[in-house]
Structures are given as C-alpha cells and as structure tokens.
Amino acid sequence: MSKPTTTQCLFPDLFGKRLVARFDVDHGSSDGGAVLLKAADRRLDLVDGLAGCIVDRRDPQKIVHDVSELLGQRVFALACGYADCNDAARLSADPIHKALIGRDPVDGDDLGSQPTLSRFENSLAPRELYRMSEALLERVVRRHRKRLRRKVRQITIDLDVTDDPTHGSQQQSLFNGFYGRYCYLPLLGFVSFDDEPEQYLCAAILRSGTASCHAGAIGTLRRIIRQLRDAWPDVRIVVRLDGGFASPKLFDFLEQQTNVGYVVGFSGNPVLQRKVASAVRRVRRRARQRYTSVREYGHHFYAAKTWKQERRIVYKAEVVHHPGRELKDNARFVVTNLRLKPKRLYEFYCQRGDSENRIKELCDGMQIGRTSCTGFWANQFRVLMTAAAYVLMQEIRLWAKRTRLARAQVDTLRIYLLKIGAHVEVSVRRIVLHMPRSFPFIEVWRQLAAVAARAG
C-alpha cells in the first residue's frame, strides 16, 4: 500500500495570517458520497452481471484482481468522473474506491494499475461484448419491471446516433463527410414508460465512422422488443426515430411485430410537397395577417416507389415568421401506423428530442467519447463501461425524483452527491465515513441513502 504524503503550501499574506495546506489525512477520499453507486449497483446487479459475460483467460495462479473487480473499478471510476484509464494510478489506494469493489477500505490491497486495466480492456472478444450488451439491456428491463410491475400501458423506444470524434489511428475510425472529421458513430437506445420524462439508456453500440444511420437499427430493435415483450407480454410498444432511420426494411420489420407502433421522421420530396401545398398557402396567409409563425397539421396516404404499400404520412405545414425577415416555409413529415390525431402525433414525435439531452449527458458528463484505444473492440468495451456507469447514475436520479435534484444532469448529481470529502474509519463491526457537517446537500443525500437502504 502506498504511503501517505504530506505537502505544505504557504500563503503568508493571503488572509492576513500565514495559511498552511497539509495533505496529511490518512484514509481520506474526495468521493465519500460514491457509496450511493454501490447501492445502485446492488439494486441492478449490473457489474457482476456484465462480468459474468467475460471469459478470464489469465493464469489462475497469477491473478491478483479478478474480472469483476477490474470491471467495477472502471465503471465506478467513470461514474465519479475519472474517464481516463491513467487515473487508476491516482485512485489505486483510495479507500472509497476500494470499498466499492468489496475490499477493506484501509487494509485492503490497492486496486488495479493502469497497465493492468489497459490489458483488460484489450482482452475481450466480440462475442463477450455482445453478451455484455444483452446483459445491460436485460438488467435495465428487469429493474423497471420490478419497479413498475405490470402497471405499464405504453413503452417508447428511441434510437439515436451521435458522432464520436477520433484522434489517432483507431480501427474503423473513418472520415465522415457530414460531420467533416474522422469519427465513430455510436448507436444509442433508450426506453421510456408511459408519461415518465426520463429516457433510460439500454443499448450502446459503437460503429464505424461511415456507417449509415440505420445500420444495426433493426437488430437492436429486435433485441429490445424481445426483452420488453418477455417482461410485459401485452404492453403497447412504440418506436420513435428520426428521418435518418427511415428505410423500407425498417418499416416492413416494424409492421411484422405484434402490437408495435412507430413514428419515424421522413424527408420531404416533390410529391409530398405538392400534397401539402394548399395547406402551406393557407398557413402563409394567416402568418401575414397575424405577423407570427403559424402551423397546421394533417395527414395523407402515400407510397414511395420502394414501398410495398401505402402508409400514413402526418405533416406539419408551418410558416416561420422572424421580424425583419421573409416568411419561411417549413413543411415536415413523419411516417406512422398510429391512429392519433395529426397534431397530437406530431407533438409526440417531437418529444424524441429529449434523447439529445441524454446524449449530451453521455458525451459531456460521462465522456463516452474516450475511445482512444487502437483496437475497435476495446473501444466498444469502453463504450459499454461508460453506458453501465450512466445507468447507475440514472438509478440515483430515479431515487432523487422527489427532491430538488429530480431533473439534474449527471455531472450535477456527481458534484452534489458523490464528491464529498470523507475520512474513513474501519472497525471489526462497521465502516464509518466522517463527512463535513457543512455539506450543503446533506438532507438530499440522506433521503437517497434511505431509499437505497430500503432497496437492500
């Protein structure tokens, strides 16, 4: 175990008295609140579930850190904001991080080093990563089935794509003309229940930089729908996608599913523009009269040349008014097999935009773009570990639904709930965390800890 060091920083005139800062507290951690992550993992059985998909090919006589410990070390560190594998060198003796993976906070052996973790990240085979993806989905669905039981009328599936800029010679990092850079294009899947605002991450698939938007979408939807149907046999499932996913194969697949509806964005074409031309003219007249933006909703039936049948097209005929500018036509279309009224259906489609906020959290709050390994599958493993860390943070946010942090971003949750300075004491019977009496969110933290304790 590394020996604690003492550092003195002298500020003779800063406060009128000499100030001395000493880093000399043994068994201290700046992540005292991260014990909530352990409670969330216990509720989901996530780390052990993912670790069970990995085959350990190392010599049993030389193993110091088992697979579950290495995986847990990385997932908990990611949730605490340590996205770089090099951070392991600074966290190896942290008492809280040792406790999170089940080691004695004070006397337990140090955690895995950066080289150990890097070898671990590069050791997984594609089949193991596939099983881990299945396990992540299964844990998320099982958690919400237990939470909601069978009291669910509708489950909405949202898929979306984001760009993951790359810098180096990573496998399958290719130049994407739309984004204008070398990148990966991860495909992310979310599920939401009835009218709940939260979209829960359930799938994260890394793809090459030139993958089409809908590449892998059907396979991902098939797995999600199967898991949801096993948990809720009679629930109505609605798939909500933007226009990049629209393809004849996708529509055919969705229409073959039982009790599955879909709302998919669709790019305009001259035929559809002619169908809504009269509506646009009406809207334009009202916009001129009212000096404001005006919109009108309706629907038509239409069959593209590559389609086997006509499908319902819901449109929004809108004219946008900006002071000092010319009026701008803005006709939008979605393809659907639902029978909702056009305005209500289009507004439901627009709610998919909240997945952009979840993606922003994953990119900015969880650093899912840290795909700097040379090997493609190692980077897929990093994406899955980040997804697992995000699922734990979403569980903590679920516990906070009756507090002021009910809609807080994950980086806000981390700062307010996990980043608490703590001194750790261990006795024969208990572990004691000494945290600041002046901690500003002490009541919220206690509420969440009580929820976690009841879950045990």
**343 and 395 assigned to the same domain:** no
CA 307 distance to own-chain centroid: 34
103 within a domain of the structure (yes/no): yes
Among candidate residues 335, 365, 395, the one where a domain is terminated: 365
* Stretch 407-427: mean pLDDT: 94
Q: Which pairing describes strands 236-241 and 260-266: parallel, antiparallel, or unpaired?
A: parallel
**77 and 166 assigned to the same domain:** no
137 within a domain of the structure (yes/no): no
**257 and 313 assigned to the same domain:** yes
Picking from 367, 382, 360, 411, the residue whose alpha carbon sits closest to that of residue 204 is 382
Give yes or no for a contact between 417 and 445, defined as CB atoms under 8 angstroms apart: yes
**158 and 99 assigned to the same domain:** no
Going 273 to 276 to 278 to 284, the CA torsion angle's sign is: negative
**159 and 47 assigned to the same domain:** no
pLDDT at 1: 44
pTM: 0.93
**61 and 80 assigned to the same domain:** yes
34 within a domain of the structure (yes/no): yes
Could you list the residue range(s) of the whole structural domain that residue 292 is in?
152-365
- ∠ CA 434-437-442, nearest 5°, is 95
pLDDT at 325: 83
147 within a domain of the structure (yes/no): no
Picking from 390, 400, 394, 398, the residue whose alpha carbon sits closest to that of residue 363 is 390
* Stretch 242-259: mean pLDDT: 94
CA-CA-CA-CA dihedral for 226, 230, 235, 240, to nearest 10: -20
Q: What is the crossing angle of helices 217-231 and 248-256, to 10°?
A: 10
**18 and 42 assigned to the same domain:** yes
pLDDT at 290: 83
Number of domains present in the structure of the chain: 2
**360 and 396 assigned to the same domain:** no
Percent of the chain with pLDDT over 90: 78
Dump pLDDT digits (tens) for 304-324. Answer: 988 989 999 999 999 888 887
CA 195 distance to own-chain centroid: 19
**230 and 344 assigned to the same domain:** yes
**332 and 240 assigned to the same domain:** yes
* CA distance to 109, 423, 428, per residue, from 98 (Å): 8, 14, 17
CA distance linking residue 372 with residue 364, whole number of Å? 16
pLDDT band at 455, cuts 50/70/90? low
130 within a domain of the structure (yes/no): no
Dump pLDDT digits (tens) for 44-99. Answer: 999 999 999 999 988 888 888 999 999 999 999 999 999 998 998 889 999 999 99
